[in-house]
């Protein structure tokens, strides 16, 4: 029961932190626009780069979810992406964060998103690892010594030939996919609302 309460409290804390840090990100996305033309080469390049980062982040997260499923904090997952680094899901989230900043064609947002998301995920990872170490003891400490926290070590890679996938994993992947696919549409909607003066632009970045 105590372990369950710790798991729930960590999850609630992570969600609360993410909700808090998304407030300035949403403000920048809605009320601050780039100064260059939306038809410019810069805008096209940033949007294309954003799509590539979003795709990379989504693929990484899908790969991780296939392996971890609903087993997070229940056992030590040390195969697939979790044999390369201890927090590959957060690596995927970081790629998504960069992709969002690029898709919105907003340099301020591109700087703001990693500056906020990265510290939150580092703090969360440290708390989760402390919890796992207290739960699994020496077994988890050996895993920590072998596998880096964030820096990928591809020479460590190992994976079983057969992987069991549960329904929870498929549902989570579907939610991630739909959310990522909607991001460019949200950006297009914001552009339309700005063009018609429905939402004001408070500042044009970078000038």
Closest CA to 6 of 130, 125, 126: 130
- Within a domain: 47: yes
Arithmetic mean of pLDDT, 29-50: 80
In a domain, 193, yes or no: no
* pLDDT tens, position by position, 55-64: 999 999 889 9
135 part of a folded domain: yes
Average pLDDT (133-138) is 88
Is 204 contained in some domain?
A: no
SS3 annotation, 114-164: HHHHHHHHHHHHHHHHHHHHHHHCHHHHHHHHHCCCCCCCHHHCCCCCCCC
Q: Is residue 144 part of a domain?
A: yes
- Residue 71: name the closest of 170, 168, 175 by CA: 168
Q: Is residue 3 scored above 80 in pLDDT? A: no
The answer to whether residue 176 is domain-embedded is yes
pTM for this entry: 0.80
Domain-located, residue 143: yes
pLDDT for the residue numbered 142? 92
| Predicted pLDDT of residue 70 | 67
Domain interval for residue 134: 41-180
Mean pLDDT calculated for residue range 83-100:
90
pLDDT score of 92 more than 70: yes
What domain count does the chain have?
Answer: 1
Q: What is the average pLDDT across 155-164?
A: 86
118, part of any domain: yes
- Give pLDDT, residue 68: 85
pLDDT at 8 over 60: no
């Amino acid at each position: 029961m105590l372990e369950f309460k710790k798991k729930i409290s960590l999850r609630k804390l992570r969600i609360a932190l993410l909700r808090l840090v998304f407030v300035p990100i949403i403000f920048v996305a809605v009320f601050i626009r780039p100064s260059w033309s939306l038809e410019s080469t810069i805008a096209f390049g940033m949007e294309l780069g954003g799509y590539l980062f979003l795709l990379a982040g989504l693929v990484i997260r899908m790969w991780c979810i296939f392996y971890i499923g609903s087993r997070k904090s229940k056992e030590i997952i040390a195969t697939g992406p979790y044999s390369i680094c201890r927090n590959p899901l957060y690596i995927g989230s970081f790629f998504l964060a960069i992709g969002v900043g690029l898709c919105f064609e907003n340099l301020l947002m591109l700087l703001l998103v990693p500056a906020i998301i990265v510290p939150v995920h580092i703090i969360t990872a440290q708390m989760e690892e402390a919890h796992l170490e207290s739960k699994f003891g020496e077994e988890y400490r050996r895993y920590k010594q072998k596998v880096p926290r964030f820096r990928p070590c591809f020479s460590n890679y190992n994976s079983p030939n057969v992987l069991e996938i549960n329904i929870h994993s498929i549902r989570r992947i579907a939610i991630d996919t739909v959310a990522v696919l909607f991001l460019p549409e949200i950006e297009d909607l914001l552009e339309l609302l700005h063009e018609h003066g429905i939402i004001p632009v408070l500042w044009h970045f970078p000038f």
